[in-house]
Amino acid sequence: MGTRAETAAATRRALVRAATELLDEGGPDAVTLRAVGARAGVSRGAPYGHFTHKEHLLTRLAIDTWDALADDVRRLREDDGREPRERLEQALLALVELGRRHPHRYALMFGTPADDPESAAAASRVEEQFLALVTDAVGEQDALRYGALLMSGAHGIAGLELSGHLSEDKWQVSGDELVRMLVEGVAGNVP
C-alpha cells in the first residue's frame, strides 16, 4: 500500500467501515463526519475527499447493505436441496432478519426515497433475485404481482417489528410465523 491510490482507497474503505460501525452501535445520530474521521484515523475534513457530502457516504452504506442482501438471496437460490416455496420463505425471512440484526442499516435502505441511481440499481438486484425465487414457487404467471405482495408483506413485518408495533404479547404471533402465513396464503393458492 505504498502508492497513493492504494492508501486513498484504504482510507475510503476505513471511512465506510467506521461509519457502518458507528451506525450499528449508536444509530444515525452517532454518525457524524467528525466521529467517522476520528475512527478511521483521519481528520474531520478527509471524508470530503471521497464523498461529496454526508448523505453520499450514507448512501454508500445503504448500497453495501443491499449488495450483501443480494448475495444472501443469491446463495439461497443456488441451494437446490430445498423446495421452491421453502427457499422463498427463507428469502423473506432473510429480509426480516436483516431488520432485526441491523435495524439502523435497514432504516437507511428504506428510510428516504432512493433518488440515487446507484442505490436504486443495488435494490433492483435484490428484487431480481427475489423475483426469480417467486417465479420458481408460483410460476411465471402473475409472479410480479405476487412478488410485490410478498415483498410488501415481509417489509411490513420487518418495519412493524422495528417500530415496536408487533409485540408478540399483543398479537399472539411472531414475525417468523407471519412470514410463513404470508407465503402460505400467497403461494398456497397457486399450486
Q: Contact with DNA (CB under 7 A): which of 17, 24, 32, 160?
A: 32
Binding mask 144-173 for a copy of itself (x = CB under 8 A): xx-xxx-xxxxxxx-xx-xxxxx---xxxx
User: Does 115 participate in binding DNA (rule CB under 7 A)?
Assistant: no
- Cell (9 digits) for 102: 441491523
Binding mask 38-67 for DNA (x = CB under 7 A): ----xxxxx-xxx--xxx------------
Q: Contact with a copy of itself (CB under 8 A): which of 8, 9, 10, 120?
A: 120
61 vs 86: CA distance, rounded Å: 30
Looking up cell 460501525 gives 21
Q: What is the smallest separation between the CB atom of 33 and a copy of itself, expressed in angstroms?
A: 17
Q: Which does 34 bind (CB under 5 to 8 A by kind): a copy of itself, DNA, none?
A: DNA
Q: Which does 127 bind (CB under 5 to 8 A by kind): a copy of itself, DNA, none?
A: a copy of itself
Three-state SS for 108-119 is: HHHHCCCCCHHH
DSSP assignments along 106-161, one per residue: HHHHHHS----HHHHHHHHHHHHHHHHHHHHHH-STTHHHHHHHHHHHHHHHHHHH
Helices 103-111 and 84-101 meet at what angle, rounded to 10? Answer: 100
Query: Residues interacting with DNA, by CB under 7 A?
Result: 2-5, 7-8, 11-12, 31-35, 37, 42-46, 48-50, 53-55
